[in-house]
Chains A and B, each alone.
Chain A
C-alpha cells in the first residue's frame, strides 16, 4: 500500500521548556514520533522567549495567543484567526490555567472544525484541590484529610482534628508545613495575603512520591497509564530525572480514576505512598505532565493516542510498557537572532 499518509495539523501550547517546564515540547515530540501521519505542528505561545518557539524540529509555525485572563472571547477570536490560515485539526492545551477557557470553548472550536480531547468542566472542578477531599471520599480513594477555612480563628479546632505536622495550602499555589499552631497561623497569614481565602489545611502524609501519567478515553476506560518515581528533583521540586516503575497498585488507581470520573484526556496523578503502604492521591493535574515523553520512550505514546481519539478514532488500550526506562532532563543553549525575537514579539507570528 502506498497511499499517501494523512496530513494532520496539530496546535499545541506549553512551549516553555525551561527550568520549570510546560509539557508542550514533550507532547510535540510524541506526536512527531508517530508514523501514522504527516504532521504539521502549530505552536501557541504566550511569551516571546518560550524555547519551543525557536527549537529546531519542534514547531512548523508559532503564533502568540492572549493569556487566559483575556477571556474566552479574545482567545476564540485569536484561534479562529490562526485556524483560517492553518486549518487546525486538533488543539492540545497543556497549562492548568488555560484549561478552564479551552473546556468552555471546546464546543465552539468543534463547530469550526478544531477537535479537542478534554475533560468536562465538572470533571475539571471535581479534582480541584479545594474539592479533592470530597472527591476521594466519594470514589473511595485515599486522600489526605483536609478542611477549607476562611478565618485564622478556625485554625485551632482544625489543627486539633488533623494533628501536627499539618500542611497549610494556598488557594492556587504554595504549601507550608507547620509543626505548631503559631507556625500554622503564620502560614495562614502569609498564604491568604498572597492568594486570598480560602486556605486549605491538610493532614501531612509522609512517604514516597510516585507520579502516574495517564490517558482516559472519556467513557471510563484507561488507554494508557505509566507510573514514574522521581530520582532527583530540582530546587523547585520539579523532576530532574525519573524512572518507570512496575507496580500494579498505581495502574489500578489510574484505572479506577478513569472509571469513576470518565475522564477524557491526559492527566497526572500525584501519589504519596505512605509509610504504612497506603497510596494517597495528593493532587490530580488535569493535563499531561512535563515528563510525558517518558511514556513514549516506554512504549505508550500518550500524546499520539490523544490526537487519534480527538480525531474520532478508536484507540486500543496499551497493555505494556518498558520498566526501568529513565528520563534525564537537560538544558541546551540555543542560538538565534534578534530578528526572530522581534518578529514574534511584534507580530505574534514566527
Chain B
C-alpha cells in the first residue's frame, strides 16, 4: 500500500482576538520558480544559501524608470549607484542599458573604470576621497562632487600642483520638510554655506562648476520632498546664472526612492504605501519645467537611483536547518542564512515564501539565522506552513545592499547567480572558501608552532 503524504501533527488554539489569516495566502503561496528556473535546481547546482538575480527584472525596472522620466523631461541620465550592488555583472547590465556610474570610494571608482565606464561618465560622490583618488578622477575627467570645505581646498591645491582643471559639483543639503534631515553630507542650503562654496568655486581658475547635487534621504515615502529639493537646487542654479552668468549643466537629484519592501514597524505593507517611480518623476520634472529655465538652458537631470531598480530583482534561496520550540511555546525555525548575508533583515520585514507545496495549516514562528549570535534574527514573527528540516524558502526583494553590506562572519559568503533574459543561470560571484580567508592572513613564524 502506498503511504500517505506526511505533514507534521499540529494543533492551534482558536483565538478571538488574534489576527486572522483568511485571504492572507499570498504570504505562503509557494514560490517554486524564479524566471522559469526551479528553486530546487538552483539549490542543487549552486548550494544553499544562494543569491539569485533576475536580469530580466533589472532591465524591466530600468526601462520603466527611464520611461517615467524621459516621457516627462527632455534630458535625463541615470547613474548606477555602485554601493547598492557592485557585482560587475549587475553593474554591466545597467551600463548596457545606458546608465553611468555613481561611486562613493576609491575602490568603487576603480571598479567602474575596470568595467569600462569612461571617466567623464563616472560621478564621484562621498566624504572619503583620498588625494590619490582625486588625482585619478582629475586625470580621467570624472565628475567630482565636493562634500566639504576641506575637500574643496585639497582639490584646489592638487589642481594647482598638477596644473589641471576639474569638473566639479557640490553636494547640497537642505530642509525638504522631512525628518531626519540629512545635513551631514555636503553644504547646507538654508545657512548660506552652499552659496559660500559656490562663490569659492566660481572664484577659482581650475574648478569648473558643472552641476549641483543633493541626496535628501533614503527610502523616501514623500514625493513632495523631491519637489522642494528640485526647487532649491534650481534656485541656486538661477542665482549662479544671474550672478556669474554661468549656466549649470546638470542637477543631480541623487537617490532615495524606496523599493516595495516593508519597513519594520510599518503598519501597511511596503507595496501599498511606496509611491511609484512615476509619482516621483512627476514631482521632480514638473518642478524643473515650471521653474522658469529657458528651453535651451534646461539642466540635464541626473538620478542615482539604486534600491528601487535592483531590490525586487534579487532573491535569496535558503534551507531549513532545524526547527525547535522555544521555552515560551513559540516555534523557532533556523535557516542557513542570517543577518550575515541578509543585512537588510535589520530594516525590513522581508517577504519569505516556501519553495514547495504545503497544506493550508500555518504556524507563527521566529525565523533565526545560522549564526551562534543572539542578534541573528531574520523575522521576529512570521506565519509560514509547517516547515521541516531541508525545506527551502525564497526571500524576496533582497537585491539592494545585501551583496555589498554582507559580512564574512562565522559563515562565508555564498554563490551569486544571475538568470539571464533567456532563463539561463550564470554564476556571477563564487562562494568564498577557507582560502579566501587564508589568502589575506599573515602568520608570523614564531606563532606557527604550539603544543597542546
Which residues of A approach B to under 8 Å, CB–CB?
46-49, 63-75, 77-79, 81, 100-101, 104, 150, 196-198, 341-342, 345-346, 348
B residues in contact with A69, CB < 8 Å:
19, 267-269
Out of A65, A72, A104, which one reaches B22, CB within 8 Å?
Answer: A65
Question: Complex: how many Å from CA A71 to CA B273?
Answer: 9
B residues in contact with A104, CB < 8 Å:
272
Q: How far apart are B284's CB and chain A's nearest CB, in angstroms?
A: 19
Given the interface pairs A64-B20, A77-B26, the reply to whether A70 lies near B269 with Cβ below 8 Å is yes
**Smallest Cβ-Cβ distance to B14: which chain A residue:** A345
**Smallest Cβ-Cβ distance to B25: which chain A residue:** A77
> Can you list, as one digit per residue, whether each of B298-311 has a CB less than 8 Å from chain A (1) or not (0)?
00000000000000
B26 touches A74 (CB 8 A): yes
> Does more than half of chain A's interface fall in helix, strand or loop, or is it mixed?
helix
A63 touches B22 (CB 8 A): yes
Out of A63, A71, A81, A345, which one reaches B268, CB within 8 Å?
Answer: A71
**Smallest Cβ-Cβ distance to B17: which chain A residue:** A47
**Smallest Cβ-Cβ distance to A198: which chain B residue:** B179
Q: How far apart are A11's CB and chain B's nearest CB, in angstroms?
A: 13
Question: Complex: how many Å from CA A78 to CA B271?
Answer: 17
> Can you list, as one digit per residue, whether each of B178-198 has a CB less than 8 Å from chain A (1) or not (0)?
010000000000000000000
Out of B15, B21, B179, B271, which one reaches A66, CB within 8 Å?
Answer: B21
Question: Complex: how many Å from CA A49 to CA B267?
Answer: 23
A residues in contact with B36, CB < 8 Å:
none
B residues in contact with A46, CB < 8 Å:
20
Question: Complex: how many Å from CA A47 to CA B21?
Answer: 10
B16 touches A48 (CB 8 A): yes
B14 touches A81 (CB 8 A): no
**Smallest Cβ-Cβ distance to B12: which chain A residue:** A346
A sample of 12 inter-chain contacts (CB < 8 A) reads A66-B21, A67-B20, A69-B267, A70-B269, A71-B271, A71-B272, A73-B269, A77-B25, A78-B22, A81-B23, A100-B268, A346-B14
A197 touches B179 (CB 8 A): yes
**B242 CB within 8 Å of chain A:** no
A73 touches B22 (CB 8 A): no
* Interface size of B as a range: 20 to 34
A68 touches B268 (CB 8 A): yes
Question: Complex: how many Å from CA A104 to CA B272?
Answer: 9
Given the interface pairs A47-B20, A66-B24, A348-B20, the reply to whether A341 lies near B14 with Cβ below 8 Å is yes
A71 touches B269 (CB 8 A): yes
By Cβ-Cβ distance, the 4 closest A-B pairs, closest first, are A78-B23, A71-B269, A348-B22, A345-B14
B residues in contact with A73, CB < 8 Å:
26, 269, 271
B residues in contact with A77, CB < 8 Å:
23, 25-26
> Does more than half of chain B's interface fall in helix, strand or loop, or is it mixed?
loop
**Smallest Cβ-Cβ distance to A150: which chain B residue:** B179
Q: How far apart are A263's CB and chain B's nearest CB, in angstroms?
A: 23
Pick the most buried of B15, B27, B272: most chain A CB atoms within 10 A of its CB. B272
B residues in contact with A71, CB < 8 Å:
268-269, 271-272
Which residues of B approach A to under 8 Å, CB–CB?
14-17, 19-27, 179, 265, 267-269, 271-272
Question: Complex: how many Å from CA A63 to CA B271?
Answer: 25
Question: Complex: how many Å from CA A100 to CA B24?
Answer: 18
A65 touches B23 (CB 8 A): yes
Q: How far apart are A22's CB and chain B's nearest CB, in angstroms?
A: 15
Given the interface pairs A69-B267, A341-B14, the reply to whether A75 lies near B23 with Cβ below 8 Å is yes
Pick the most buried of B14, B15, B24, B27: most chain A CB atoms within 10 A of its CB. B24
**Smallest Cβ-Cβ distance to A71: which chain B residue:** B269
B20 touches A48 (CB 8 A): yes
A67 touches B22 (CB 8 A): no
B267 touches A64 (CB 8 A): no
A101 touches B26 (CB 8 A): no
B residues in contact with A74, CB < 8 Å:
23-27
Question: Complex: how many Å from CA A198 to CA B222?
Answer: 15
**Smallest Cβ-Cβ distance to B265: which chain A residue:** A196
A residues in contact with B265, CB < 8 Å:
196
Q: How far apart are B320's CB and chain A's nearest CB, in angstroms?
A: 24
**Smallest Cβ-Cβ distance to A76: which chain B residue:** B23
Question: Complex: how many Å from CA A235 to CA B175?
Answer: 43
Q: How far apart are A194's CB and chain B's nearest CB, in angstroms?
A: 12
Question: Complex: how many Å from CA A340 to CA B7?
Answer: 28
B residues in contact with A342, CB < 8 Å:
14
Known: A71-B269, A345-B16, A348-B22. 15 other contacts (CB 8 A): A47-B17, A49-B17, A66-B22, A69-B269, A70-B23, A71-B271, A72-B272, A74-B26, A74-B27, A77-B23, A77-B25, A77-B26, A101-B272, A104-B272, A348-B23
Question: Complex: how many Å from CA A346 to CA B19?
Answer: 12
B residues in contact with A348, CB < 8 Å:
20, 22-23
Question: Complex: how many Å from CA A150 to CA B15?
Answer: 38
B residues in contact with A65, CB < 8 Å:
22-23
**Smallest Cβ-Cβ distance to A81: which chain B residue:** B23
A residues in contact with B26, CB < 8 Å:
73-74, 77
A47 touches B16 (CB 8 A): yes
Question: Complex: how many Å from CA A127 to CA B36?
Answer: 47
B residues in contact with A67, CB < 8 Å:
19-20
Q: How far apart are A344's CB and chain B's nearest CB, in angstroms?
A: 9
A residues in contact with B179, CB < 8 Å:
150, 197-198
**Smallest Cβ-Cβ distance to A65: which chain B residue:** B23
Q: How far apart are B283's CB and chain A's nearest CB, in angstroms?
A: 14
A residues in contact with B17, CB < 8 Å:
47, 49
Question: Complex: how many Å from CA A241 to CA B25?
Answer: 42
A residues in contact with B272, CB < 8 Å:
71-72, 100-101, 104
Question: Complex: how many Å from CA A17 to CA B24?
Answer: 25
Question: Complex: how many Å from CA A101 to CA B23?
Answer: 14
A residues in contact with B25, CB < 8 Å:
74, 77
A66 touches B20 (CB 8 A): yes
B residues in contact with A198, CB < 8 Å:
179
Q: How far apart are B175's CB and chain A's nearest CB, in angstroms?
A: 12
**Smallest Cβ-Cβ distance to A105: which chain B residue:** B272
Given the interface pairs A66-B24, A70-B23, the reply to whether A48 lies near B14 with Cβ below 8 Å is yes
B residues in contact with A63, CB < 8 Å:
22
Pick the most buried of A70, A79, A81: most chain B CB atoms within 10 A of its CB. A70
